Amino acid sequence: MTAPRLPPAYHLVSLERVVSTNDEARALAEAGAEDGTLVWAREQSGGRGRRGRAWASPPGNLYCSLVLRPEVSMAEAAELSFVACLGVGEAVGSLVPPMVPLRYKWPNDVLLDDRKISGILLEAKSGAEGRPDYVILGVGINVASHPGDTTTAATDLAELGAPGLDVGEVLQAFARHFMTWAARWVEDGFAPVRHAWLARVKGLGEPITVANEASRLEGRFADLDARGALVLELPGGDRRLIAAGDVLFAR
Ligand code: BTN
């Protein structure tokens, strides 16, 4: 495995096997790790996904978590999951043949050929004055394999025409593309991120179901609001802002 060549803003912590890179990154952040600390592990024994799900983490795929200390509000920090989507999307898009379609699925799934290639888990600790003390951005990318038992169909880069990729190379691609979009976000805010994300979103204008622990709502995916909430138009025409949940598409 070749060592990734990363822009100097990153401080790489490279590990063999951990429970979860998000947990490692959080421990480092609690101990004062600086913005840009990037924890990379070859394997996880307790990889975590959104909404308490497990993230299967055998060797051969990418597992990394980045410590960020953005000078924004907690609400604005949540926009980083869309920034990460663009970083992941452009990275994986650069590694597979150009005819493989790339789409984003709200809130932060990256789909290649209509199947999930990556997972993003954003966790933040709030600090003074409603600002985050730190944000942990966890990213998993299916490079050599994918689990077969997921509710959302999954795939991996090898299956899509990029066999034998070095995981370090995938980390390098993600780190570079994420940095470009993070700089744009710091400079220009969420608007250009939202615009780029919407240009590739799956299901805009279509009937969807949004499910979370509390409810299951059916409607039309009308828009993404200026903060990243899904705008759901209900059958009667009323609009609801959805901040968290899973989107299911009609067949
Ligand atoms: C999802 O549910 O789609 C999010 C999955 C996030 C998985 C990544 S792998 C690296 C980091 N460490 C974890 O335990 N989870 C994230």
Q: How many CA atoms lie within 13 A of 166 on its CB side?
A: 9
Q: Is the CB of 39 under 6 A from ligand 1?
A: no
Cα–Cα distance, 78 to 63 (Å, whole number): 20
**Encoded amino acid at 200, one letter:** R
In the 8-state DSSP scheme, what is residue 130?
G
Is residue 122 a contact partner of residue 25, using CB atoms and an 8 Å limit? no
Q: Please compute the mean of the pLDDT values over residues 191-218 and round it to a whole number.
A: 95
Look up residue 173 and give its two tokens. 């691609």
pLDDT, tens digit, 9 for 90 and up, residues 32-66: 999 999 999 999 999 999 988 999 999 999 999 99
The fraction of the chain above a pLDDT of 70, given in percent, is 99
Confidence of residue 1 (pLDDT cuts 50, 70, 90): low
Alpha carbon of 49 to ligand 1 centroid (Å): 5
pLDDT, tens digit, 9 for 90 and up, residues 225-248: 999 999 999 999 999 999 999 999
Torsional sign, CA 44, 64, 164, 4: negative
Identify the bridge partners of residue 68 per DSSP, sorted by sequence position: 135
Would you say the pTM of this structure is higher than 0.85?
Answer: yes
By most ligand atoms within 8 Å of CB, the mutation choice from 26, 43, 55 for ligand 1 is 55
Q: Is the CB of 118 under 6 A from ligand 1?
A: no
Confidence of residue 150 (pLDDT cuts 50, 70, 90): confident
Q: Is 31 exposed, middle or buried (0-12, 13-18, 19+ CB in 10 A)?
A: exposed
pLDDT, tens digit, 9 for 90 and up, residues 182-191: 999 999 999 9
Is residue 137 a contact partner of residue 38, using CB atoms and an 8 Å limit? no
Mean pLDDT of the residues in the chain: 96
Cα–Cα distance, 66 to 79 (Å, whole number): 15
Q: Is the CB of 72 under 6 A from ligand 1?
A: no
For position 251, what pLDDT does the model report?
A: 62
